[in-house]
Amino acid sequence: MNQPALRTSSGAVWLITATIFTAVCLVPLVAIIVTGGAAASVALIATVLLACLLTTMFIVRFTMTPGTRQLRWLAACMLSMAVVALIAMIVCVMIVWTSVRS
């Protein structure tokens, strides 16, 4: 809680890292969507959620007054993005794996 990114940051670092994180996560998710199959719907939902969370971060950054409240919202959105991406990847792998084993 005593991190500079949560106390004195302008919020730009959160937007930059979240944008890079989203781009990296979208590569396999879009590949799963293009490939099709049972996991495509999970990947599509995850892609939409990641885009919505990134958009929320930009809205928070440019509409809220600067301060710790804004930075905590940005951090919460970033953590939510990580959770969404991780769960989506695990579910997609489980779907594909069970279909291969059958």
pLDDT category of residue 7 using cuts at 50, 70 and 90:
low
pLDDT at 9 over 90: no
Check residues 80 and 72 and name the one with the higher pLDDT.
80
Q: What is the pLDDT of residues 23-72, one digit of tens each?
A: 999 999 999 999 988 999 999 999 999 999 999 999 999 999 988 899 99
pLDDT at 48: 98
pTM passes above 0.85: yes
DSSP 5: H
CB contact set of 18 (below 8 Å; sequence gap of 6+): 53, 54, 57, 74, 77, 78, 81
62 CB burial (10 A radius; 0-12, 13-18, 19+): exposed
